[in-house]
Structure 1
Amino acid sequence: MHGAWHGSWCWEGLTSLLLADGWETRTVDLPSAGGEAGVQDDAQVLLRELARIDGPVVVVAHSYGGVPVTQAVAEAENVTHTVYLAAYQLEVGESLLGRHGAPVPSDPDGFQAVPDQPVPLFYADAPAADAEAAAARLVPQSMRSFADTVTAAGWHTIPSTYIVCEQDQALPPRIQEELATRAGAVHRMASGHSPFLSMPGRFAELLTKIASESSR
């Protein structure tokens, strides 16, 4: 599940590596990226996709994607593990804005514009050409998705792993470490916010390790 301002396109390099290793992958586009949808709308998109899959599923959530994933896996029947990649592993009653101590707007309609300097923020350690290409595909993000609170937290019942990105400029590692205390296992990567772009091979290897161990 991709993060704010992004789309399923951000997983393309990673999924090709996983497919080559024999893993079946699915990606979804969240309606909150480019539309006025909120967390519940995003969660329903994931639930519909999960319902189409037979067998056990490991869900990977990046950044904001952790919010609707936390909500959705509480209802899903086939999710066996959740991986939070520099993601918001929230508790019931928390929102993304609230987790940062920011006030929730009285009127959450409208959009949060793409950050002014997305390359150093999201892709500081990625190849320059890849970073610029990714930045060009970003779209405004629904304010409602940042303001909505989580009403169910699937990580209480579904095993989870947190991956801390130690050089992250978007979600400070200090906050990631706090969120990671909610996961059953923690891994760390010497990467910026988007290791699926900056170090897809190493990230694929880590995901394979996590998924293989979760199936034992």
Structure 2
Amino acid sequence: MAAVVLVHGLYHCPEHFAVVAERLRAAGTDVVVPELHRGSLPADTAAVQAAVDSLHEPPVVLGHSYGGSVITGLRGAGHLVYLAAFVPDAGESAAGLGGAAPQLQEAIRPEADGFTSLHPGRAVDTLYGDCPGPLADRAAGLLRAQAPGCGRGVPERHSWKHTPSTYVICGQDRAIDPVLQRKMALRCTDAREWQTGHSPFVGQPGLIVELLQGLLATDTPRTGDEGVPTARRRLR
């Protein structure tokens, strides 16, 4: 059975991917959506690695936003999808690459014990500004407080260097600068740009379902002598 692992970003949770997961499962795909919020990048990566290891074949693994740092540290993925996500190289973190755009930084508010959360109204505008109102409000209501330091975590390995990868640039993103996304996309095997905000899984889940189903239906690109995918990078 074809398999997909969906990895959410900071402040988010598995329920944000519910519609995407339901549609993929209805089409016969095995879908796992791990819970992050484990307190650190290594702990989050370990949780997703366990999900990958539980599957019978190398899955397509999608990481959103901070989830890009998480999937960068994985072993055993068949294809990586970076959705408006960070693609760290050696010694790099999401924060070091540029981190949150100013509008997202302004939405962050401190909580007890060093945790932070997002102001609901500002979160709607920043993360879900292109989504229908009821969907945006529901998504904002699912957001959780975030432990400190995850965005400064540095992956121990860099799977995009030897695993086929696709970067999806969200051209109307207010949370991660699209200019930064285009730079990070150059590290991936393939890239495409959607004119959406930061969270198309909320407003346009069909785009993500179509992308993942297309990747599942395509043979994994062969790799070169150093394990680097031989497919040319292209922007669509």
Q: Does 2:173 correspond to 1:168? A: yes
* 1:49 aligned residue: 51
CA 1:52 to 1:101, structure 2 compared with 1: closer, same or farther past 3 Å?
A: closer
1:106 maps to what in 2?
none
> Whole-Å Cα distance in 2 between the matches of residues 51 and 163 of structure 1?
25
**Are 1:40 and 2:42 matched, yes or no?**
yes
Task: Report what 1:83 is aligned to.
Answer: 81
Q: What are the equivalent positions in structure 2 for 1:116-135 lying under 5 Å apart?
A: 117-135=122-140
Could you tell me the percent identity over the aligned residues? 32
Within the alignment, does 1:30 sit opposite 2:36 as a pair? yes
Aligned to 1:209: 214
Q: Residues 73-117 of structure 1: CA distance to partner in whole angstroms, max 9, x if unpaired?
A: 2xx23x111000000011121111111179xxxxxx822322461
- Contact map agreement 2:164 2:220 (CA 8 A) in 1: no
In the TM superposition, residue 211 of structure 1 has moved relative to its aligned partner by 2.6
The alignment partner of 1:69 has SS state of: helix
Quote how far apart the aligned CAs of 1:166 are: 0.8
State yes or no: 1:113 paired with 2:117.
yes
**What is aligned with 2:24?**
18
Query: In 2, distance between residues paired with 1:112 and 1:92?
Result: 27
Q: Which residue of 1 aligns with 2:4?
A: none
Does residue 3 (structure 1) correspond to residue 9 (structure 2)? The answer is yes
> Which sections of structure 2, spanning at least 5 residues, go unmatched?
1-6, 101-112, 222-236
**TM-score, with length taken from structure 2:** 0.81
Any idea what SS the aligned residue of 2:56 has? coil
Q: Which residue of 1 aligns with 2:108?
A: none
Is contact 2:172-2:195 (8 Å) kept?
yes
Q: 1:26 to 1:171 in 2, by over 3 A?
A: same
Q: Is the 8 A contact 1:81 1:214 kept in 2?
A: no
TM-score (norm 1): 0.88
Unaligned runs of 5+ in 1: 103-108
Separation in structure 2 between the aligned mates of residue 191 and residue 155 of structure 1, nearest angstrom: 24
- Per chain length, whose mean CA-contact separation is higher, i.e. which structure has more relative contact order (CA < 8 Å, sep 6+)? 1
